[in-house]
Amino acid sequence: MSISNGKLKILMTGPNPAAPGGISTSVRCFLSFSQNSNFTIYHYLTGKPITQSDTIFKYLRRNLYQFYMFFIKLLGTNFSLVHIHTSSWGGFWRTSLYVLACKIRNIPVTLHVHGAEFKTFLLDNSFIKKRLILEILKVANGLIVLSSAWQKFFSFVVPNQNIFVLENMVDVPDTRVKYDNYKVINFLFLGGLTKRKGLQELVKVIPRFSNRKDINFTIAGFTVPSEKELRLKIEELANNPKTSKIVNFLPDISEKEKIDLLLSSHVYILQSFDEGLPFSLLEAMSYGLPTITTPVGAIPEFIEDYTNGFLIGPGDYNALESKINYFLSNHVTIEKMGKSNVNLIKDKFGLSRLKNKIEKIYIELSYDH
């Protein structure tokens, strides 16, 4: 185990913290911890640059180079622990090489599993690939998962593994949404522009409100190249004379634009089919927005009907329309539910509380080795 100036030395692999997406947000949170804690995090950048488009050649060259330099880094520095952020599908196979490199160097390593579709990734693969996935999970010194539901699942598939629950982290901003204007109720979707997030359902429901003057929908987030058809449908809504007055489409927004949207919105919509513990939902809650979302991943562990939002079925168009109408008819509950969410974030998902949890995990895994 390596300690520098009385601090554990943690090497963390993950994408650019300024990039869009949940893992980047997680990396950014961890790096903020490193300033005043008993550990120092050294970030090793993996994944593609924010502005770079990929060809197969660029993809292979970049990943081979990143892995080679990672191994060189392991040879040159003694780390207390390597913290590897991983997801599903191709992301998992890439990071599995990093796990094996740590074992070759005899450095303890933890896999931080973010993939909302990890269960599908494991169960739908061939027998050989399933065995390989399970072996990689076993080789790690510990797993970090996002919720007690995920802990239960991973405890079943790798029963002798050290599995730690570490919820995603956000903080309550100093400035939050104002509840003094209900002439127009602003409903916000913010995240990856993909069917998995329930956007197709929202696109279908929006025209049902085209005759109302007291509603606005904002769809914002980052474009998913493989789902250009969905983006075209959103653009059509934003440009169609029948719906353009109630729809704002803001793709690929900046961090400042995101904050401005959260401050000017009233209700957050995320009708996902699969999730782990979505940062976008936690951020919306921290700004005081009640939510319309689904009972997938860790979400039902902290969203309760009529307390801080609503849980509806994935793909249920009619339920989505019903809950939108509920907020249009019950303005007073928006503020009540929003304040419940702010208090929940403070109590359960605040950065200071979670910093203590990750420090305990780092110490346990480093000393166990």
Model confidence pLDDT, tens digit, residues 349-363: 887 778 889 999 999
- Contacts by 204-207 with C-beta closer than 8 Å and gap 24+? 204/317, 205/317, 205/320, 205/321, 205/324, 206/237, 206/243, 206/246, 206/247, 207/237, 207/242, 207/243
The answer to whether 319 and 277 have CB atoms below 8 angstroms apart is no
CA angle at residue 288 from 284 to 292, to 5 degrees? 55
Whether residue 315 is predicted with pLDDT greater than 80 in this model: the reply is: yes
**pLDDT score, position 240:** 96
The proportion of the chain whose per-residue pLDDT surpasses 70, expressed as a percent, equals 96
217 contact partners, CB below 8 Å, separation of at least 6? 187, 188, 189, 202, 206, 209, 246, 247, 248
Asked if pLDDT for residue 301 goes beyond 60, the answer is: yes
Q: How many angstroms separate the Cα of 56 from the Cα of each of 45, 52, 89, 179?
A: 19, 13, 17, 49
Q: What CA–CA distances, in Å, run from 351 to 148, 166, 207?
A: 19, 11, 39
Q: 50: pLDDT confidence band, cut at 50, 70 and 90?
A: low
Residues 6+ apart with CB under 8 A from 147: 165, 167, 276, 277, 297, 298, 301
Residue range 236-257: mean pLDDT, rounded = 94
Report how far Cα 151 is from the mean position of its chain's Cα atoms: 17
Which pLDDT band holds residue 368 (cuts at 50, 70, 90)? low
Residue 293 has pLDDT above 70, yes or no: yes
| Residue tagged 């809504």 (tokens) | 237
Angle, CA 159 vertex, CA 154 and CA 160 arms, to 5°? 120
Question: What is the pLDDT averaged over residues 57-67?
Answer: 90
Q: What percent of the chain has pLDDT over 90?
A: 73
Q: What is the pTM of this model?
A: 0.86
**Rg of the chain on CA atoms, in Å:** 21
Beta carbons of 163 and 142 less than 8 angstroms apart: yes
- Give pLDDT tens digits for 137-172: 999 999 999 999 899 999 999 999 999 999 998 888
